[in-house]
């Protein structure tokens, strides 16, 4: 028996969906096998995750709050990844976005109307997140540096910078030496709608805007062309450097807004780990959605359920929330593995001995 791998052409949408559904089902089956190996009941674990994420109004609200930064960050990553600029620096861009929003919140008058204050905070977050993405982008565009390593290292610079502020110049003297930055004034805190901070409305708006930008604008088309083939884009007369810089600024700006929401609505101050790992986690739904903004919305909801359900596991059953991370990892493994079968066809045939 021998097998041969050949490149596929375009496959029907139904067949593509079937392969993806099989991959997700297999990931759940294998996750169940691993849970059994750990002496856990997979049915009980999965039902508890669902119960912990959507089992009550409060849990639904908690899931929504986890989904907001994850979704906005994923949208930012989509813009960069579409151009094959591997932005692994979302964690730092979230942190610097939160820094910009915090500077505005703590330095402008508390008498400013809330809409004005929040708008200025969002602008500052967008600018700071965009600048943090611009730095590796300009090196990539002008010198051809490796953006994966560059953006990854920028994360640690951002986190250590905020740590320095938290323990130094911005430490609140009223905290009795405790390394904490002052709380935001009331006009710098995002209001809630339906029990969840208003960031969920921003997230839905950004889904629509990113989808329209990527699919129905000239710049979005240019980003896609550069991602498919730099030589084709250059032959068509596109300014490659400008496209790289613009797309990464947009990517970093969106991540910065996620940081502003975390600082304003969740922490109500700035802390070193404000990003909370969302910058890394968001890579998974961005990739699983095949860089489609609308699909990314549903994937992020599912991942937010896993994150919230994992937290509930720890509280209700005393089981580590890492169990939910195992499920996440297996889903990613199998769905990414399915990409192989979407692009290549494996055929088997019997070995036939040639007769002389």
pLDDT digits (tens, 9 = 90+) for 218-263: 999 999 998 888 888 888 888 998 999 999 999 999 999 999 999 9
Q: How many domains does the chain have?
A: 1
Residue 319 lies in a domain: no
Alpha helices (H) in 190-270, listed in sequence order: 199-216, 218-228, 230-235, 240-261
> pLDDT at position 333, please?
82
Residue 195 lies in a domain: yes
Gap between the Cα atoms of 291 and 137, Å rounded: 20
Residue 216 lies in a domain: yes
| Mean pLDDT of all residues in 339-348 | 75
Q: What percent of the chain has pLDDT over 90?
A: 54
> pLDDT at position 223, please?
92
Tens of pLDDT along 297-342?
999 998 899 888 888 887 777 777 677 777 777 877 887 787 777 7
Residue 194 lies in a domain: yes
pTM above 0.85, yes or no: yes
Gap between the Cα atoms of 320 and 298, Å rounded: 25
Residue 181 lies in a domain: yes
> pLDDT at position 356, please?
44
Residue 187 above 80 pLDDT?
yes
- The candidate with the shortest Cα–Cα distance to 275, out of 92, 121, 78, is 92
Written as one string, the DSSP assignment of 303-334 is HHHHHHHHHHHHHHT---THHHHHHHHHHHHH
**In which band, very low, low, confident or very high, does the pLDDT at 350 lie, cut at 50, 70 and 90?**
low
> pLDDT at position 352, please?
52
Angstrom CA distances, 319 to 214, 309, 310, 315, 344, stand at 41, 11, 9, 8, 40
Find the domain containing 176 and state its range: 68-297
Tens of pLDDT along 60-104?
999 999 999 999 999 999 999 999 889 999 999 999 999 999 999
Residue 337 lies in a domain: no
Residue 203 lies in a domain: yes
């Amino acid at each position: 028996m021998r097998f041969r791998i050949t490149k596929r052409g375009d496959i029907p949408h139904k067949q593509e969906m079937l392969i993806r559904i099989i991959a997700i089902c297999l990931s759940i089956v294998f996750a169940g096998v691993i849970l059994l190996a750990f002496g856990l009941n997979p049915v009980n674990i999965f039902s508890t995750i669902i119960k912990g994420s959507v089992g009550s109004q409060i849990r639904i609200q908690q899931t929504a709050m986890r989904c907001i930064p994850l979704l906005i960050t994923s949208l930012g990553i989509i813009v960069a990844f579409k151009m094959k600029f591997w932005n692994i620096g979302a964690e730092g861009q979230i942190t610097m976005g939160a820094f910009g929003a915090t500077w505005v919140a703590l330095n402008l008058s508390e008498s400013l109307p809330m809409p004005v204050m929040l708008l200025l905070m969002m602008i500052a977050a967008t600018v700071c997140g965009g600048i943090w993405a611009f730095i590796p982008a300009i090196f990539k565009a002008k010198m051809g540096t490796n953006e994966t390593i560059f953006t990854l290292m920028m994360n640690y610079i951002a986190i250590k910078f905020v740590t320095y502020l938290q323990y130094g110049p911005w430490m609140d003297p009223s905290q009795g030496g405790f390394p904490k930055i002052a709380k935001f004034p009331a006009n710098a805190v995002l209001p809630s709608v339906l029990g969840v901070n208003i960031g969920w409305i921003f997230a839905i708006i950004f889904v629509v805007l990113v989808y329209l930008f990527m699919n129905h604008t000239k710049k979005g088309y240019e980003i896609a062309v550069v991602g498919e083939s730099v030589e084709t884009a250059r032959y068509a007369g596109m300014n490659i450097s400008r496209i790289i810089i613009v797309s990464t600024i947009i990517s970093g700006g969106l991540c910065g807004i996620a940081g502003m929401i975390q600082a304003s609505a969740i922490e109500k101050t700035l802390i070193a780990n404000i990003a909370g790992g969302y910058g890394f986690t968001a890579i998974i739904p961005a990739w699983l959605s095949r860089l489609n903004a609308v699909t990314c919305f549903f994937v992020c909801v599912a991942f937010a359920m896993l994150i919230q359900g994992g937290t509930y596991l720890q509280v209700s059953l005393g089981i580590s929330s890492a169990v939910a991370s195992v499920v996440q990892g297996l889903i990613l493994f199998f769905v990414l593995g399915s990409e192989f079968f979407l692009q290549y066809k494996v055929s088997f045939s019997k070995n036939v001995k040639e007769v002389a």
